Amino acid sequence: MCGAKHVTSYILLFCLFAPVSHAQSSLSAFLSQEVSLADWGLTDPSQIGHISVSILNKKEGKELIIRDIRRQRPVVREPVGPRGRVPSFEKDLFLVSNFDQGNTNRLGGYFSGFAKSPSQAAVAIGKAPDSTPALVFSYRRINPGFAGFWVHLFDFKEPPAARIFLDTTPFTYLTFSIRGEKGGEELLLQAVDRVWEKKEDSLAVGDVASFLPSGRIDGKWQQAWIPFTKLPAGIDRKELASLVFIVKRTGSGRVFVKDLAFTKKRGVQIPGPKKAKHLVRPLKKALWLWETEKIVANPIAQQRLITFCKSQGVTDLFLQIPYKAKKEKGKWAILWDSSKFRPLIAELHGADTKVHALDGEPRFALKEWHGRVIATIQSIIQYNRDVAPQERFDGIRYDIEPYLIPGFAGVRKEAILNQYLSLLKSSQSLAGKANITFGVDIPFWLDGRNKFYEPTAEIKGRPVSELIIDIVDNIGIMDYRTQAYGADGVIAHAYSELQYAAKRNKKVFVGLETVELPDETILEFGSLGSGSHILVKRLDGKRARLYWIPVGDWDRFIIDPKFSHDAVMLGQTDATFIPSTKISFAKKDLKDLEVVIQQTKSELQNFSSFYGFAIHSYESFRPWLERHIHQR
């Protein structure tokens, strides 16, 4: 929740008397990246009006990553006129959700916890202490932070112009059942309509306790009845967007909510949940392993790997193949010592673990590198022909990540993706003829939209994730989140891929991360902005260098007029902090991982395409797991 941001117009001023050497030494102190202007459809730095970057806070220092460069910031189209709709309902009741299953309610709305550090908040579908299915809100509020959760009454993933909000005019009451874990928990209820949603703010309705029979949240279920006369005057009942619950005082606890509904009169009987049918079946458990050379060179490390796979029930191991590639007379030669792999693969098979030959680099997506990839696949196929059945690879797997190619987010995106898809088709054809499973790893956001609601990666109107699924035997979704539920959780990010893969009879591994990652801050810059700055300096007719100048450093940054001739300055307009704990379990407890896996299984297991989980990676997961098991 935040108010309007104060912005100030900045004019780039240059000192006429500063020596050139001072300018260069000043610039060298700042994080920078060189860019090709053509990658972004530009011919001159003066054309740049919008830049987005990431600042990675690594242990060895900060790193600057260029995310987006444009002529101007895209404008998100807002709706014209009322955008509310009365839902279809029976008799005197519209039931939003029993909160017994599912990641969204009957209006397509998600739920999510929110908190400001050092406070914490999390929301999931689970069970209350009496085993009743419910929305479970866990919190720890520490001053000066805050904590709470919201329930959307619309699908916020739709662009603003397409969003449909809830018209509540036929109803008289909002109702839900609530209880605390211990009793005495205090929550404030707030409401949001379309206008306040745009402001990212809400208006107070009242203490939840004031709408309960006992006048307080107890350790037993009570039904709250909130008459719409209690809604603040600033809320438009024809465009209700969200309900927000905020923890009133410091402390930690859990609160449970069920049977959220809108009714035409008080006392309407709320129907309970129907018994859900869950498909119970065994799931696969995969591991990525990258430092293969260390394993094959050390018999003790090999036995540790085999023992670990057996004890953890690892069914699939994605094992990187260390090799040397040489290009002679236009052809690639792939050299690797296969003799080291034969006994290892045989023992892994003895531990009921299938082995997939793993490789991948971003540049492999480009046409000039396809020959190397094809030659590598051919070498693996030949290896399988030369060895005994128990020593053969079961699959081939590529983790190429073409979006890491510089300029991918610019005008080259479609060309890069088309080259990547062409490679996958050739690779699948080779592997298929050799009766070897072929799979690839993709990020969860390939079928998503950016903050401007533009498709992240589409070709001819189709998400690239679907085009990839069409080609390969299976995918691994790099679904790197540490919560299962909510719009930004594991379940939501895997849902559409699983849905499409089920139609195509393909398999999906849901990947989770245990590698320790840096915190990240995403910054946006424009002609109007304050705080830190981006300086864009032309290098020549094709290249420019971007310098990030943090807050406070600009005041002492002086540059020569000769240097400033081809420079553009943009000020910071937005900042989003992404803690590493949102992406990786490295700093989480084992229980956190177990809970997310169990919650994800409960929601996704009915998809025939859901093959199991993949953990990234053996090098981080094994010591992390052993440490936590030792602590128990």
Question: Per residue in 517-553, pLDDT tens?
Answer: 999 999 999 988 888 999 999 998 899 999 999 987 7
Confidence check: pLDDT of 467 > 60 = yes
3-class SS letters over 84-129: EECCCCECCEEEEECCCCCCCCCCCCCEEEEECCCCEEEEEEEECC
Beta bridge partners of 614: 286, 511
Instruction: Number of helices (H) and strands (E) in the chain: give both, helices first.
Output: 12, 32
Per domain, the residue ranges of the chain are: 45-73+521-577, 92-263, 284-517+583-631
CA dist 120 to 113, 117, 138, 147, 212, Å?
8, 7, 8, 6, 26
Residue (of 532, 567, 529, 526) closest to 546 by Cα position = 567
pLDDT at position 79 is: 76
Under DSSP, the state recorded for 302 is H
Cross-strand partners of 34: 545
Mean pLDDT (whole number) for 15-39 = 66
Q: Is the whole model's pTM more than 0.75, yes or no?
A: yes
Locate the DSSP E strands across 506-552. 507-513, 519-526, 533-538, 543-549
Write the DSSP symbol of residue 301.
H
Residue 5 has pLDDT above 90, yes or no: no
The arithmetic mean of pLDDT across residues 238-244, rounded, is 97
How many Å separate Cα 611 from the centre of its chain?
20
pLDDT at 11 over 50: no
Of 70-79, 354-363, 599-608, the poorest mean pLDDT is in: 70-79
Spatial distance between the Cα atoms of 292 and 427, rounded to a whole number of angstroms = 22
Q: How many residues does the chain have?
A: 632
Which residues have a Cβ under 8 Å from the Cβ of 109 and sit 6 or more positions away? 96, 151, 152, 153, 154, 155, 156, 242
- Distance between CA 457 and CA 409 in Å, rounded? 9
DSSP codes, 117-172: TT-EEEEEEEE-TTS-EEEEEEEEE-TT--EEEEEESS-TTS-GGG--EE--TT--
Q: What per-residue confidence (pLDDT) applies to 2?
A: 36
- CB under 8 Å to 538, separation ≥6 — which residues? 44, 45, 544, 566, 567
- Quote the DSSP letter at residue 449: B
Higher per-residue pLDDT: 129 or 560? 129
pLDDT at 28: 80
Query: Which residue in 155, 99, 163 sits closest to 127, CA to CA?
Result: 99
284-517+583-631 has the same fold as 92-263: no
pLDDT digits (tens, 9 = 90+) for 504-514: 999 999 999 99
Distance CA 117, CA 137 (A): 17
Report the alpha-carbon distance of residue 103 to residue 483 in Å, rounded. 12
Distance, C-alpha 223 to centroid of its chain: 36
**How many CB atoms within 10 Å of residue 32?**
17
Evaluate whether 148 touches 121 at the Cβ level (below 8 Å). Answer: yes
- Nearest Cα to Cα of residue 530 among 569, 574, 571, 575: 571
The CATH topology of domain 92-263 is Jelly Rolls (2.60.120)
pLDDT average, residue stretch 322-351: 93
Q: Which CATH class is domain 284-517+583-631?
A: alpha beta
Amino acid letter, residue 5: K
Number of alpha carbons in the 13 Å side-chain half-sphere of residue 372: 20
How much is the average pLDDT of 481-486?
Answer: 96
Tokens of 105: 């309610």
* 2-16, 203-217, 459-473, 514-528: segment of lowest average pLDDT: 2-16
Of the candidates 399, 384, 376, the one whose C-alpha atom is nearest the C-alpha of residue 327 is 376
